[in-house]
Chain A
Amino acid sequence: MAPERIDLPQGTLDLLILRTLALGPQHGWAVSERVQQMSSDVLRIQQGSLYPALHRLERKGWIKARWGASENNRRAKYYELTKSGQHQLEAEKDAWQKLTSAVAQVLGTV
């Protein structure tokens, strides 16, 4: 069986989606697959949170959507990172690294 899976808090989910889309435009299914792959199956995104997150990010203007043909030639909605999305990704990455290192430090000292 796959390793134990972790449910993601919302802020982290946004970060992962932005990071995934930094590799290139993708549709929603591929985003969830990619996250799963890259995390060696540890992280799995529920559809119930993926799509609201995508719509929310689109509204914030960090990603933008356009319709394109998928690998199997079906119409699919592709999301790609915008300029402000890239800035947001950098900022969130920094914040995340600071957070994890701080948390690690706290855990290490105890």
Chain B
Amino acid sequence: MLSDLYIRARSLFRRGAVEGELEEELRFHLDRQIEKYIRSGLTRDEASRRARLEFGAIDQIKQVCREARGVTHLEMLIQDARYALRGFRRNPMFAVAVVLTLMLGIGSTSAVFSVVDRILFRPLPYRDSDRLVSVGLVAPIEPQEFMLGGSYYDWQDNQKPFVAMTSETGVEPCDLTEVNPLRLDCARVESNFLPTLGIAPVLGRNFLPSEDRPNTPSVALISYSLWRSRFHMDRSVAGKLIRIDEKPTEIVGVLPMDFEMPRLQSVDVLMPEGLDVAAQRRANPGRPMWAFARLKPRVAPEQAKAQLESLFEYSLRLAPGAFRKEVHLTVRPLRDRQFHEVHRAAWILLGLVAAVLLIACANVASLLIARRSGREREMAVRAALGAGRLRLLQQAITESFALSGVGAVAGVMFASLLLRVFVAMAPEGMPFLSAARIDVRVLFLTLCASLLCAFGFGLVAGLSRTRADALTSRTSVSRRHAQARQVLVIAQIAAGLLLLAGGALLARSFWNLERQNLGMNDQNVLTATISLGQPGYPTPERQMAFFDQLQHNLRYGPGVSVVAISDSLPPGGYRHDTLFASLRVEGRAQLPTGTGGNVAWRWVTPDYFRALDIPLIEGNGFKDDELTSSDRFVVLSRSLAERMFPGQDALRQQVHVAVGAPAEQDPPYTVVGIAADVKNGGLAVGEEPEYYRLRRNRAEDWDRRAVVIVKSNLPASTMERWMRQQIAALDPTLPVETDTLQERVAKLADQPRFEMLVVVYFAFTGLALAIVGLYGLTSFLMVQRKPEIGLRMALGASKGNIVRLVLRDAMRMVLPGTVIGLALALALSRTWSSMLFQVGPHDPATYLCATALLGVVTVLAVLVPATAATRVDPIVTLRVE
């Protein structure tokens, strides 16, 4: 075995030496034979002649010896590779074109795959993650499933389909109150949380059930990154006492590096929920929480849902009547819970990039065929000299492997660049995107893609067969090659139009999104989001005092015209939500059944409407003297007023906003104004009715969160610095987030913008590649047809005639391609209608634009080489013929 390897390797790498030795060995034999004949009495010439005759063809012996040494396959491969390289060096433009095309195709594929891999394919970082499900209730108020403490513990005790069921009660900001205080994200989880997910701490231990109770000493698990950044990976950290929100807390363990919350919130510290379970069981509805469970073997999520149905029915009986019809049970795989919204976008992206790869491959195949037909004579000569069909095919495949190899390497580099661009562009709502990287899985895919491409091209190029007639005829075989290329160009144009239509639809949709009327003016408005820490501001009084002082300090700032404080801002993001059924007009009966859908509300100060330029349609809104009143005041949005007071005057009416609560918690509010509707459900989704509660100078109206709104005619950057200074003057440790309102709105459009840019990028890449394909084929055909064109012109055809002729031929590819592309786009675009805003998936104008753009560039791609071809002198071409 070893000798075998040594000999093969030596033959391969020391080819010269081995050949020399073989030569010497055979020469020695011949000489000895000649000597022998001379000794037996022959003359030198005679002896030499006879020995040579006996010996036979020395080259043939050498070849058989080489084969006996078993190197021919490898050697042939190297020979082919050398041959290929020589070919590339002779025609570098060809090689560059192929490698660039492959780089675009393979690079885009790899980049997209690395992004969607986490969403669609890669296992979640939990043990047997496909057995994990998210369990809960879905209601209009919260379309993502949640649980309530009043039902959760009953379900946990009585459920059948799960091995284990666990919960978390959300992530809240908390403070590490030590030297160098730090704002952290603290998650509260049940003690069986980590075991159910199948995660073991890398250091220390999990919580004990006895630690997950109210009024027990505080314990915490810290994230790997906190362990690294704050504790320098000190292994003695387990058992260490730290202070979280002033409370001494023992670190019991460290989470693994790849730990993720099931709902993907970012988290630094895990702490036990510490709920009073007995009280929760009695409570109705109880603490909101999010539940996850591990399915028993061979139980599907649907079966689990069916088995939970009776528990759900029981819980529903306890729910308020308004809820019952609109609440549903959901059990779905954890992956669906995490990526529900982006799932479809990910598939679409993958489909688009597949189309780009297809176009790129078609281009390369087309280029190879073109080169092949350019080398037809060479091939025919080689075939005539005895190169086997298989040998030529092998050579073609070697050549395409060499090209794909280089293309794949360039593609991986391009992919990492593209990925960096994606991440830089990506909105914050796509946390998995920044985690996307080119890893072994992606490299493996790239390898597979390039091998597949290589094999495909090699086969296409190699099988376009070579016949002896190529030695004599001039054009017939080239024409046949051209037919194969025409099919490829039709496919390219179809795929290009599909991409273009998709890109145009998304661009149109994004344009609509950006241009829509938000119902407010976002110019010259600066906002600061402040969340006061527990230690410094333990009571609502302290919180109100801080904001009051801040408002006072800001009011007389440079160029400041309006200062207002609310607790949230339109058009998207957080706001309070309640049900229409919770509202009631004083002196009128409540609505009969149903929740009536969601109603948004905010706490605002009187100048809120002026700050955002929200017109007050009726009434004057809040007045300053109401700030000190013990009465309560409310402004309704126009849509809410129309619903509550159809055809009546709402002003000065009394309304209740917490129907169902005890009387002392449901005081009457006086309507003091009706404001125009403002977009408040995000950019794409429609508006909800809304009401505004006046934030009076009373502690009960304040909490730790507030958004300060400042309108000023100074530049935003100046204002921002000044505002930060003012806040820091009051409390230098306070974390503040400042944005202009325009930035906040733009941030909401981040995801659609990202989707649009990515799709448009692919559309143009695909289009460019398709055009290159068409251009390449037309130029190639022009060269082939030069004599014909010369002849036509000599017979009196004008340049216009020739161009028309060429165009007509090109249209035979463009028209079927366009028709197929349009059909495909119309059929497939329904799948992405959920990504579109105010534009139908079959919007005629968009399709018309995409088709027109494609038409113009295809005509250009044909006209340029066609007019160049008419510039030839007919005499010259005819003389060549």
Contacts and interface: CB of A to CB of B under 8 A. Distances in A.
B32 A60 contact: no
Interface string A48-67: 10011101101111001000
A59 B68 contact: yes
A47 B55 contact: yes
Contact of A56 (B29, B32, B68): B68
A64 to B, nearest CB: 7
Contact of B65 (A51, A60, A72): A51
B28 A76 contact: yes
A52 B67 contact: yes
Interface string B1-35: 11110011000000000000110111011011101
Interface string A68-110: 0010101111000000000000000000000000000000000
Interface string A33-46: 00000000000001
Given A48-B64, A59-B3, A70 B25 contact: no
B41 to A, nearest CB: 16
A52 B65 contact: yes
Contact of A58 (B3, B26, B60): B3
Given A46-B56, A47-B29, A47-B54, A77 B65 contact: no
Contacts of A25: none
B68 A55 contact: yes
B70 interface: yes
Contacts of B7: 58-59
Contact of A28 (B3, B8, B29): B29
A29 B32 CA distance: 7
Interface residues of A, number: 23
B73 to A, nearest CB: 14
Given A47-B61, A74-B28, A76-B28, A64 B56 contact: no
A52 B64 CA distance: 6
A72 B32 CA distance: 10
A70 to B, nearest CB: 7
B580 to A, nearest CB: 88
A58 B4 CA distance: 8
Contact of B28 (A29, A32, A55, A58): A29
Contact of A51 (B4, B26, B70): B26
Nearest to A28: B29
Nearest to A67: B21
Given A77-B21, A77-B24, A77-B25, A51 B61 contact: yes
Given A52-B67, A53-B68, A55-B69, A28 B54 contact: no
Nearest to A55: B68
Contacts of B70: 59
Number of contact residues on B: which range applies? Answer: 20 to 34
A52 B62 CA distance: 8
A60 B125 CA distance: 51
A64 B4 CA distance: 11
A51 B29 CA distance: 10
Contacts of B55: 47
B4 A59 contact: yes
Contacts of A28: 25, 28-29
B2 to A, nearest CB: 8
Given A27-B28, A28-B25, A48-B60, A55 B3 contact: no
Interface string B668-706: 000000000000000000000000000000000000000
A17 B68 CA distance: 16
Given A28-B25, A29-B28, A48 B56 contact: yes
Contacts of A60: 3-4
Contacts of B25: 27-28, 51, 76-77
A70 B70 CA distance: 28
A55 B65 contact: yes
A28 B21 CA distance: 13
A61 B70 CA distance: 13
A76 B1 CA distance: 26
A53 B4 CA distance: 14
Contacts of A59: 3-4, 7-8, 68-70
A29 B67 contact: no
Nearest to A77: B25
B29 A29 contact: yes
Nearest to B35: A72
A59 B28 CA distance: 21
Contacts of A58: 3, 7
Nearest to B64: A52
A36 to B, nearest CB: 11
A64 B60 CA distance: 23
B68 A61 contact: no
A56 B11 CA distance: 13
Contacts of A72: 35
Given A29-B33, A64-B3, A77-B21, A48 B28 contact: no
A27 B31 CA distance: 13
Contacts of A56: 68-69
Given A76-B28, A77-B28, A52 B68 contact: yes
Contacts of A32: 29
Interface string B59-83: 0110011011110000000000000
B369 to A, nearest CB: 41
A53 B3 CA distance: 16
Contacts of B65: 51-52, 55
Contacts of B26: 47, 51
A46 B8 CA distance: 25
B579 to A, nearest CB: 86
Given A29-B29, A46-B56, A52-B65, A61 B4 contact: yes
A47 B56 contact: yes
Contacts of A51: 22, 25-26, 29, 61, 64-65
A28 B24 CA distance: 12
Contacts of B8: 59
Interface in B548-563: none
Nearest to B3: A61
A69 to B, nearest CB: 11
Nearest to A75: B24
Nearest to A72: B35
A48 B61 contact: yes
Contacts of B32: 29, 70
B606 to A, nearest CB: 97
B499 to A, nearest CB: 55
Contacts of B2: 61
Contacts of A46: 56
A59 B2 CA distance: 9
B862 to A, nearest CB: 59
A28 B26 CA distance: 9
Nearest to A76: B28
A60 B7 CA distance: 10
B399 to A, nearest CB: 30
Given A47-B56, A76-B28, A52 B4 contact: no
Nearest to B25: A77
A61 B207 CA distance: 66
A11 to B, nearest CB: 15
A58 B56 CA distance: 23
Contact of A52 (B24, B28, B56, B61): B61
A72 B500 CA distance: 82
A53 to B, nearest CB: 7
Given A51-B25, A59-B7, 9 more contacts: A32-B29, A47-B55, A51-B22, A51-B26, A55-B69, A59-B68, A70-B32, A74-B28, A77-B24
20 contacts: A27-B28, A29-B28, A29-B32, A29-B33, A47-B29, A47-B61, A48-B60, A48-B61, A51-B22, A51-B25, A55-B69, A56-B68, A58-B7, A59-B4, A59-B69, A59-B70, A61-B4, A64-B3, A75-B24, A77-B25
- Please name the 9 residue pairs, one residue from A and one from B, whose CB atoms are nearest each other, closest first: A61-B3, A52-B68, A55-B68, A29-B32, A56-B68, A52-B64, A29-B29, A77-B25, A55-B65
Interface of A: 27-29, 32, 46-48, 51-53, 55-56, 58-61, 64, 70, 72, 74-77
